[in-house]
Amino acid sequence: MTDRLENAPARRLACTGCGNEFGCNLSGPCWCNDETFRLPMPLDGSDCLCPECLRKLPSQRAGAGAA
């Protein structure tokens, strides 16, 4: 059986954090695979964050935890 994501075309998305457009490639290497910070898949129907927003999130969460 073939994995449905294996042949999925690259997607153009709008970041749920800032609205900037970016690419997501479910069938091959995607930029987010190289990131050290990972988020669980959203359960609220939202989609991915752009590279800039994803990279800002660890420091934002660390600051919120220090309060």
Q: What does each of the 67 residues of the chain score in pLDDT, given as a tens digit?
A: 455 556 667 788 899 889 999 988 877 777 888 888 777 766 777 778 888 988 888 777 776 665 5
Neighbours of 27 (CB within 10 A): 14
18: left (phi over 0), alpha (psi -120 to 50) or beta: alpha
Neighbours of 16 (CB within 10 A): 15
Range(s) of the domain holding residue 51: 7-28+46-67
pTM: 0.62
CB 49 within 8 A of CB 38: no
Query: What is the per-residue pLDDT for 1?
Result: 44
Is 39 a domain residue?
Answer: no
Total domains in the fold of the chain: 1
Given the structure tokens 């600051």, which residue do they identify? 63
Is 11 a domain residue?
Answer: yes
